[in-house]
């Protein structure tokens, strides 16, 4: 089963939070959405296991979904 994560803005901390959807644990926090989505950042954070990342807008609506396949 592929791991699932969500990147969304947290108003309490004023940061973008990447959270594991199953455990609800924060994996990484970013100062900006661009910092969390720039080339290679999500792939590096998810590591070899990969997964799916749902990216939300600052208002919470769906922006995009990115899949990172398991590296061989």
pLDDT digits (tens, 9 = 90+) for 24-61: 999 999 999 999 999 899 999 999 899 999 999 999 99
Helix runs in the chain, H state only: 33-37, 41-46
pTM, two decimals, is: 0.90
pLDDT band at 2, cuts 50/70/90? confident
Q: How far apart are CA 9 and CA 59, in angstroms?
A: 8
Domain boundaries, the chain: 4-53
Strands of 51-56's sheet in order across: 26-30, 15-20, 4-10, 51-56, 62-68
- The token pair that represents 70 in the structure block: 């398991």
Q: What pLDDT score was predicted for residue 39?
A: 80
């Amino acid at each position: 089963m592929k791991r699932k994560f969500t990147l969304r803005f947290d108003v309490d901390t004023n940061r973008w939070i990447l959270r594991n959807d199953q455990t609800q644990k924060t994996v990484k926090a970013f100062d900006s959405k661009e910092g969390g989505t720039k080339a290679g950042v999500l792939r590096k954070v998810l590591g070899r296991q990969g997964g799916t990342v749902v990216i939300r807008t600052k208002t919470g609506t769906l922006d995009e979904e990115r899949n990172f396949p398991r590296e061989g």
